[in-house]
Each structure stands twice: as structure tokens, then as C-alpha cells.
Structure 1
Amino acid sequence: MGNDDLTVDVETTAANVVLITVGGSLDDWSDSGGLTKALAGAARGEGIRTVVDLSGVTFADSTALHVLLEGQRKLAAAGSTLVLAGPLSTSVSRLFEVTGLRETFTFADSVAEAHTC
């Protein structure tokens, strides 16, 4: 597996928070299905909050935005909250800024902070 291959790991913490850890490149070339499934599963579960740890994402494009927006919609409909955790790489942070979507999501500087915001 190369450095840019997408990885998605899911765990539920003792505090009933679903933690989705994403690594690699989240773009049109990667298979974003793992993240899509993880977010949909979180929306069907009973977690009070879903945290997506993007600190390991090296690159993201509109594919990432689409998956995260759809996940946020499903989680909100289920009464859950989505928090994106960093620190974010410069390119990922810039993606949210240039698209005007920074205010659409809740961000935390770390996974630990995301559990409390």
C-alpha cells in the first residue's frame, strides 16, 4: 500500500462516540466507499457524536466534500453530530476555505478536543 492509498478505520469509544480515522488521499482516484459506509453506519447507530479524524489525509478534493456533506446530512437526520478533527494538512484545510464550506462543518484541532465540542 502506498502513502496515498485511502484507509478508513472505525471504532466506538466508551463515551458512545463513533471515531472514523481516515488516512491517505481522499479524492476521485481513491475508493471513498469505505468512508461513505462508515458515515452511513454511524448514522444508523446510537452514537451521540461522530468524529472523523482527517489528520492522516494527505490530499482531498470534491469527492471528500461530497462524502462528508452527505454524511453530515444523514447524521443530522439521525440526531447525531459530525465533528472533523485535525490537525489538517495545508491542502485539506485550503479545500474547505476555497469552497466556502469551512463554516458548514464543526472542526476540532484534535480527536480529544472533538470529543468535547
Structure 2
Amino acid sequence: MTADELRVVVETADEGVVLIRVRGILDGWSGPSELVEALEGAARSGGRLTVADLSRLEFADSTGLHVLLNAQRRHTETGVRLVLAGPLDTGLSRLFEVSGTIGAFTFADTVDAALSC
């Protein structure tokens, strides 16, 4: 994996639960389309919960934030809960804080905690 590469792995964790593991860099250069597609598919799945595991996400910029905000909106529209799981990198936490979007998401400290939401 190169430094600017984004990896996305989609797993079915349980009936009605989609787990999306994100690793690397989430910005305009990394080509976030794979994550967009995974999140959109999870929203359309008719399940009850999507967990986005961001614990191995090294960096995100406004493009990454835009992807997550659109995913949250889409999940709300389809009635599927979206939880962002950590622990989050300090820079990623800061991105949510300085952009004023921290309240737009549900966060969990770990994937296990998110799965019980």
C-alpha cells in the first residue's frame, strides 16, 4: 500500500450489520470512490446498522469529511444507523471538531462498542 492509498474492506458482521473497515488516507488524491460505493451500498442494504471502522485511517481532509457527511445523510434517509468507530487518529478527531461536524455523527470508541449500538 502506498502512502496515499485508501483501502476499504466490507464485511457482514451480523444479520443487518455491515462493517466497513477503512485504512490509509481519505482525501481527494486517494480516490474515495470505493468508500463512497461501500457506504452507499450499506445504506441501501435495508440493514439496521453500518459501522465504519476508522481506527486505521491515517488522515482525512475536507474531501473525506464530505464523503462521511453524505453517507450520514444517506443513512438517515434510508433509516439505517451509521456509527463511526475508533479509536480515531488525533488529526481526524480534530477535523470533526474544527469543522463543527462532530454532532452530525454517532461515534464509538471501538468496533465492538459500535456493534452494540
The TM-score with structure 2 as length reference comes to: 0.95
CA drift of 1:4 comes to 3.8
2:30 aligned partner, one-letter code? S
For 1:23, the equivalent position in structure 2 comes to 23
Q: How many angstroms apart in 2 are the aligned matches of 1:16 and 1:79?
A: 12
In the TM superposition, residue 15 of structure 1 has moved relative to its aligned partner by 3.8
Question: Matches of 2:3 and 2:19 in 1, distance apart?
Answer: 21
- 1:11 corresponds to which residue? 11
- In the TM superposition, residue 16 of structure 1 has moved relative to its aligned partner by 2.0
- Residue 73 of structure 1 and its aligned partner are, at CA, apart by 1.1
After TM superposition, the structure 1 = structure 2 runs for residues 7-86 of structure 1, keeping only pairs within 5 Å, are: 7-86=7-86
* Runs of 4 or more consecutive aligned structure 1 residues displaced over 3 Å after TM superposition: none
Q: Could you say which residue in structure 2 is the equivalent of 1:2?
A: 2
Alignment correspondent of 1:111: 111
Task: Give unpaired runs (5+ residues) of structure 1.
Answer: none
RMSD: 1.0
Does the aligned pair in 2 maintain the 1:16–1:46 contact within 8 Å?
A: yes
CA contact (8 A) 1:54 1:84 kept: yes
Q: Tell me if structure 1 keeps the 8 A contact 2:4–2:29.
A: no
CA distance in 1 between partners of 2:3 and 2:103 (Å): 29
Deviates more, 1:6-15 or 1:53-62: 6-15
Bigger mean CA deviation after superposition, 12-21 or 95-104: 12-21
Q: Distance in 1 between matches of 2:65 and 2:14?
A: 29
- Residue by residue over 1:55-99, the C-alpha shift from the partner in whole angstroms, topping out at 9 and shown as x without a partner, is 000000011111111111111111111100000001111100110
**CA contact under 8 A between 1:21 and 1:52: conserved in structure 2?**
yes
**Contact 1:4/1:58 (8 A) holds in 2:** no
* Letter matched to residue 102 of structure 2: R
